[in-house]
Amino acid sequence: MITTIQYKSRKLKIDLSKPLDISIPIQSSKHNVGAWHLTEPRIEPVTMDDWVGSVSKGAAVNFNNIWFNPHAHGTHTECVGHITEKVHSINKHLKTFFFFAEVVTVAPEEFAGDFVISKKQLQFALGNKKRDAIVIRTLPNMRDKLSKQYSNTNPTYLLEEAAIYLKEKGIKHLLIDLPSIDKEKDDGNLLAHNAFWNTKGKLRLDATITEFIFVPNKVEDGMYVLNLQIASFENDATPSKPVLYKILE
């Protein structure tokens, strides 16, 4: 299905029948991606007395409970409530769901013994482009990102200067294929989160961070239409399903 959208003075076409899903699903498995020292999620039938909520066990329906943490177990979208005393809800603050996004690929550089993404790298990737969202794919981009266990691995993260740059650039939605935009162990400073959400000034309540995405290598760098789908949780974060649509020239 081809539809036309307006972008500034241009009319652009996208094919809604060809979505590019960049989310990582939550599954009840040790192969589920993981971080922050939590065990894998559990998806299990409800059990009440002799009744088990599974068709294979004789029930009329499958009726499962799910135990998971949105920050640790898959693609999730969070708002500033993730780091503020007042718990702002992602469901209340993300009210529109289609954005113009730039997909960029970055090879992390070494800094103070870590691997990081710097302001200079993002400046080079974005140039003079004006976008609502940025989708950051880090190298190497292997399929093990779908099941990797990140606890105690000190993954790549954004320098504070990079987050400040994105805020000043007007990027409202930051998506990345890492468990966090901040260093795994940083004494709770969360420099990049605080910078992106501008916690020392007027809070960017309508800005979001989406972590644990996976951008397949077949998705080329460039501009896309992003559909940022979330589940309706009244929480600082929710599982999400970001979907890209290629712009047809």
pLDDT digits (tens, 9 = 90+) for 10-49: 889 999 999 999 999 999 999 999 999 999 999 999 999 9
Contacts 24+ apart (CB under 8 A), 93-98: 93/205, 93/206, 93/208, 94/206, 94/208, 94/228, 94/230, 95/206, 97/227, 97/228, 97/229, 97/230, 98/5, 98/225, 98/226, 98/227, 98/228
**Residue 249 pLDDT > 80:** no
Neighbour tally for 231: CB within 10 Å: 14
Q: How many CB atoms lie within 10 A of CB 6?
A: 8
Q: How confident is the model at residue 183 (pLDDT cuts 50, 70, 90)?
A: very high
Q: Does the pLDDT value for residue 221 go beyond 80?
A: yes
DSSP helix/strand/coil, 91: helix
Q: What pLDDT was estimated at residue 170? A: 97
- CATH of span 2-30+70-248: 3.50.30.50
Check pLDDT > 90 for residue 206: yes
pLDDT above 90 covers what percent of the chain?
A: 95
pLDDT of residue 56: 97
Query: What integer pLDDT is reported at residue 8 of this predicted model?
Result: 79
Mean pLDDT of 197-212: 98
Residue 184 clears pLDDT 80, i.e. is over it: yes
Residue 23, CB-side half-sphere exposure with 13 Å CA sphere:
22
Q: For the segment 70-125, what is each residue's pLDDT rounded down to a tens digit?
A: 999 999 999 999 999 998 999 999 999 999 999 999 999 999 999 999 999 999 99
Mean pLDDT of all residues in 63-71: 98
- pTM of the entire predicted model: 0.97
User: pLDDT tens digit string along 116-146?
Assistant: 999 999 999 999 999 999 999 999 999 999 9
Q: How many residues does the chain have?
A: 249
Average pLDDT of the segment spanning 184-189: 96
CA dist., res. 114 & res. 210, Å (int): 22
Q: Could you tell me the residue ranges of all domains in the chain?
A: 2-30+70-248
| Structure-block tokens of residue 245 | 């649509």
Confidence of residue 194 (pLDDT cuts 50, 70, 90): very high
